[in-house]
Amino acid sequence: MPSHRAPRGSWFGRGRTRALLSAGLLVGMGAVATSAYWTTEDTFSGGPINAGAIHLDLANNVRVKPETYGWGGLALSNLAPGDTRAAVLPVTNNSRGAVTFSYRIQASATGTLGGALQVTVRRGGGVTGTTCTGGTLVGGANASLNGFDQPAGASLAPTQAHDICVQVTRPAGVLPASSTSNITFTFPASQVP
């Protein structure tokens, strides 16, 4: 009696061999992509290589952690509509190593009063009466304090300092008498190669 079974194919038939080769190709591509992800290369010619750590200090807060400073010099209590107050804050490069950096000046304020306040910042300026004078204007005069974000306009070399004069104005207008705001100034820095 003749056999009616289909001929048995070899495990290494054309379809399976192709599937195995394709799987091997996918795994190989994944391995190449992963190793390339962690590789970097650059060319450097001449000059010394210095290592260090950026450390920007406010006032006399030399290398103290946490990196916050309660600035009592800019007293804004009882700031009446139309009033202006100003103070100078020294910003110093106390980095470890020969690190030069540039920095930004950012400000934010909470509440209804915070949204109304205006700021004028002058690098190298001083205080005359209740306003900042001299130096270089950073950003615009009487800019909105909430969301202020401007480069300081110059780099700080190691041990160098800038006097930053900050002037805050409460414009004349109708705001509730009991309006309050928390104001934060931030000075993010980036190394300058």
Instruction: Check residue 24 and give its pLDDT.
Output: 39
More confident residue, 78 or 44: 78
How do residues 4-49 score in pLDDT, each as one tens digit?
A: 555 555 544 554 444 444 443 333 333 333 334 455 566 767 666 6
Alpha carbons 21 and 42: distance in angstroms, whole number: 36
| 5 in a structural domain | no
Q: State how many domains the chain has.
A: 1
Q: Which residues contact 1 (CB under 8 A, 6 or more apart)?
A: none
**Max CA distance (Å), the chain:** 118
Q: Is 108 within a domain?
A: yes
> Tokens 């100078």 sit at which residue?
88
Q: Please give the model's pTM, rounded to 2 decimal places.
A: 0.70
Domain extent, residue 116, equals 56-191
Residue 70 lies in a domain: yes
Residue 89 lies in a domain: yes
Judge whether 32 lies within some domain: no
In a domain, 122, yes or no: yes
* pLDDT tens figures, 52-69: 777 777 877 666 666 777
91, 186 Cβ separation under 8 angstroms: no
- How much is the pLDDT for 157? 92
Ranges 18-32, 84-98, 114-128: which has the least confidence: 18-32
Give the domain CATH number at 165.
2.60.120
Evaluate whether residue 181 is within a structural domain.
yes
